[in-house]
């Protein structure tokens, strides 16, 4: 049986989690304690970059969420979460990459914001991504039209997290209706973190960023 290595608070792992549920793929969940278990030799043998998610499917091992989503779609094609026409495939990939490169990268600033002005500035940086997603959605229920696809899964997990962090999408009515529609789906409800879980994740992200910044300062100090 397919094994899914993840942590329930990881928004990146949640992409794969939702895809597994939406496609109704049987899997064995393996929670990786990110307080150190990801650095143990047993897990490093699976992913030397000590990150989740990872899947193993028989002799096949796949790391990186987008690669895992592509694998699941090719290996378990029914129900399909991938369009077949060239334009629709390009749209799906555009949405995935814009969310990954232009939106997800802003969230650490959102989490670390100490003042309302810092938070507002970070939220403003997300505006272009919101507008792009709103135009891509148009009047459709999902990026894939009437049915959900991999663009919805990648974008939806990120946008839903942003909304939970306090970012408003009210000015983008297509995105707002869409993210509420996703939230009502059973697969998304099964993976949704509680408020306490979200608070724990925020503290964890802050701690990781602060430790990274401390290491950088020490390295700069040694170099000088």
Q: What is the pTM of this model?
A: 0.88
DSSP letter, residue 31 = E
pLDDT band at 223; cut points 50, 70, 90: low
CA–CA distances in Å: residue 109 to residues 80, 96, 156, 196? 35, 21, 20, 20
Do residues 66 and 154 make contact, with C-beta atoms less than 8 angstroms apart?
Answer: yes
3-state helix vs strand vs coil in the chain, percent to 5: 60, 10, 30
Q: What is the CA radius of gyration of the chain?
A: 18
Phi first, then psi: give them for residue 172, nearest 5 degrees. Answer: -115, 85
CA distance 114 to 192: 26
Instruction: List, for residues 94-148, the tens digit of each pLDDT value.
Output: 999 999 999 988 888 888 877 888 888 888 888 899 999 999 999 999 999 999 9
């Amino acid at each position: 049986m397919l094994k899914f290595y993840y942590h329930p608070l990881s928004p990146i792992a949640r992409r794969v989690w939702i895809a597994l549920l939406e496609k109704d793929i049987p899997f064995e969940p393996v929670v990786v304690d990110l307080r150190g278990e990801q650095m143990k030799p047993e897990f490093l043998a699976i992913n030397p970059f000590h990150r989740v998610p990872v899947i193993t499917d028989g002799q096949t091992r796949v790391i990186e969420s987008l690669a895992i989503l592509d694998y699941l779609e090719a290996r378990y094609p029914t129900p399909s979460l991938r369009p077949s026409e060239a334009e629709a495939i390009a749209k799906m990939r555009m949405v995935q990459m814009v969310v990954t490169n232009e939106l997800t990268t802003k969230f650490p600033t959102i989490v670390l914001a100490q003042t309302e002005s810092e938070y507002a500035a970070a939220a403003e940086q997300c505006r272009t991504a919101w507008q792009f997603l709103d135009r891509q959605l148009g009047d459709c229920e999902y990026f894939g039209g009437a049915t959900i696809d991999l663009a919805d899964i990648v974008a939806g997990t990120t946008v839903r997290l942003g909304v939970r962090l306090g970012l408003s999408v009210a000015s983008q009515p297509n995105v707002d209706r869409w993210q509420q529609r996703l939230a009502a789906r059973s697969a998304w409800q099964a993976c949704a973190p509680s408020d306490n879980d979200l608070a724990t994740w925020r503290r964890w992200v802050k701690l990781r960023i602060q430790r990274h910044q401390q290491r950088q300062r020490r390295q700069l100090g040694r170099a000088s």
